[in-house]
């Protein structure tokens, strides 16, 4: 069972849900069985907030009952976090790094609650953490792949949220490794991660400048990037297998994020009594949970058009990241807009 709680009435709803869940003879709520998430938008957006809801749902298989609050404003974050923690929720999540500050305010009053920011990049001992996947590693692989598949030796990326750490990591990783592989990399930022029309326009602009392989990290707008590639018949990478279906001859691969594995691994440890107070980043060096994977289809990592030699190069990169022989730390300069 998952309870939906609006920002205006979550306190009453949480209390009612808890009472309804109790048997006729009341007993204390089992904190280890409960997880909640605060969402900045609606679970029906088919994008970022829907992903947050799916993360919450995945914890049911780890023994949690769940609740969520939608459309939580900045001003309401602290109260919402406090309400869940005061009602015995062992895991309380916020769906983006913007929730970390509020968690840092509330956490000292609830030392047995694990607060987790999805896709944040900081924590606070002993019980505020962020979880993300290693955008730099996978961005690097896309840069290598793009450079090897380019005939013009010009590749490009379209991103949103300039300056956000995980965007800097992926865009910067893309540029570092594309450049290393002999291509010129150009990066454009759009103002809205959901605006497919703007992403398509950005993609067409980059193609007009000579780019023949596109990549990016967008939400709903990712489909616009694929549409631009499809219109001009250039290669592109995506963020989901639906994008492969849009242009199977042109999509080279997708970064498929495995949030259920990341959060499941963490939640299992929290149930066993371990709390985290730091930023935990999953990647090739944290196998078997790597946080993400390259997938063209259910049965293949890469488009069949990718030469075996390029596939081997990407496998070697993954192995080097796993062993620690290869490490990259992209900077804001690496992720800058422009060429």
Alpha-carbon distance of 270 to 250, in angstroms, equals: 42
57 and 46 in contact (C-beta within 8 Å)? no
pLDDT, averaged across the chain: 91
User: 270 is written with which tokens?
Assistant: 């929290």
179 and 120 in contact (C-beta within 8 Å)? no
* Number of Cα atoms under 13 Å in the Cβ half of residue 57: 8
The dotted CATH code for 135-258+289-323 is 3.40.50.2300
Query: Which residues contact residue 171 at a Cβ distance below 8 angstroms, ignoring those fewer than 6 apart?
Result: 139, 157, 159, 187, 217, 330, 334, 335
* pLDDT band, very low/low/confident/very high, at 4 (cuts 50, 70, 90): low
* Mean pLDDT for the stretch of residues 133-162: 98
Q: Is 162 exposed, middle or buried (0-12, 13-18, 19+ CB in 10 A)?
A: middle
43 and 52 in contact (C-beta within 8 Å)? yes
* pLDDT band, very low/low/confident/very high, at 11 (cuts 50, 70, 90): very low
Q: pLDDT at position 31, please?
A: 42
Give 50 or 25, the one with higher predicted confidence. Answer: 50
Q: pLDDT at position 1, please?
A: 55
Residues forming a β-bridge with 175: none
Give 16 or 296, the one with higher predicted confidence. Answer: 296
Parts of the chain belonging to CATH 3.40.50.2300: 2-118, 135-258+289-323
211 and 156 in contact (C-beta within 8 Å)? yes
Query: Which residues contact residue 46 at a Cβ distance below 8 angstroms, ignoring those fewer than 6 apart?
Result: 220
Backbone φ, ψ for residue 164 (5° rounding): -65, 135
Shortest CA distance to 8 belongs to which of 93, 103, 79?
Answer: 79
* pLDDT band, very low/low/confident/very high, at 271 (cuts 50, 70, 90): very high
Kindly tell me if the per-residue pLDDT of 164 is higher than 90: yes
* Superfamily, domain 2-118: Response regulator (3.40.50.2300)
Alpha-carbon distance of 139 to 145, in angstroms, equals: 10
Alpha-carbon distance of 20 to 5, in angstroms, equals: 15
Q: pLDDT at position 33, please?
A: 85
pTM for this model (two decimals): 0.87
* Mean pLDDT for the stretch of residues 293-312: 97
pLDDT in tens, 179-230: 999 999 999 999 999 999 999 999 999 999 999 999 999 998 999 999 999 9
* Mean pLDDT for the stretch of residues 92-96: 97
pLDDT in tens, 110-124: 999 999 999 999 999
% of residues, the chain, pLDDT over 90: 88
């Amino acid at each position: 069972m998952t309870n939906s709680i609006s920002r205006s009435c979550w306190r009453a709803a949480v209390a009612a849900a808890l009472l309804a869940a109790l048997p006729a003879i009341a007993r204390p709520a089992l904190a280890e069985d409960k997880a909640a998430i605060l969402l900045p938008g609606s679970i029906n957006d088919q994008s970022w907030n829907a992903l947050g809801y799916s993360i919450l749902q995945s914890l049911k298989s780890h023994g949690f009952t769940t609740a969520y609050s939608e459309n939580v404003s900045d001003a309401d974050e602290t109260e919402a976090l406090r309400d869940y923690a005061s009602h015995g929720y062992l895991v309380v999540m916020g769906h983006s790094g913007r929730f970390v500050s509020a968690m840092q305010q509330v956490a000292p009053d609830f030392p047995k609650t694990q607060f987790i920011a999805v896709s944040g990049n900081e924590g606070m001992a002993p019980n505020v953490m962020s979880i993300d996947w290693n955008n730099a590693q996978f961005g690097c692989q896309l840069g290598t792949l793009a450079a090897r598949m380019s005939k013009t030796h010009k590749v490009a990326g379209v991103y949103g949220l300039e300056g956000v750490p995980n965007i800097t990591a992926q865009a910067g990783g893309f540029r570092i490794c594309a450049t290393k592989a002999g291509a010129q990399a150009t990066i454009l930022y759009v103002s809205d991660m959901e605006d497919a029309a703007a992403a398509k326009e950005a993609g067409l602009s980059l193609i007009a400048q000579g780019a023949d392989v596109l990549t990016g990290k967008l939400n709903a707008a990712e489909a616009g990037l694929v549409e631009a590639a499809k219109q001009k018949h250039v290669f592109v990478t995506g963020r989901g297998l639906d994008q492969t279906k849009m242009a199977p001859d042109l999509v080279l691969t997708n970064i498929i994020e495995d949030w259920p594995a990341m959060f499941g691994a963490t939640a299992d440890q929290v149930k066993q009594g371990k709390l985290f107070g730091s930023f935990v980043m999953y990647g090739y060096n944290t196998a078997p949970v790597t946080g993400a994977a390259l997938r063209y289809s259910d049965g293949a990592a890469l488009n069949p058009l990718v030469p075996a030699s390029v596939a081997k190069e990407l496998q070697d990169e993954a192995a080097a990241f796993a062993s620690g022989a290869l490490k990259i730390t992209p900077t804001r300069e690496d992720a800058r807009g422009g060429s």
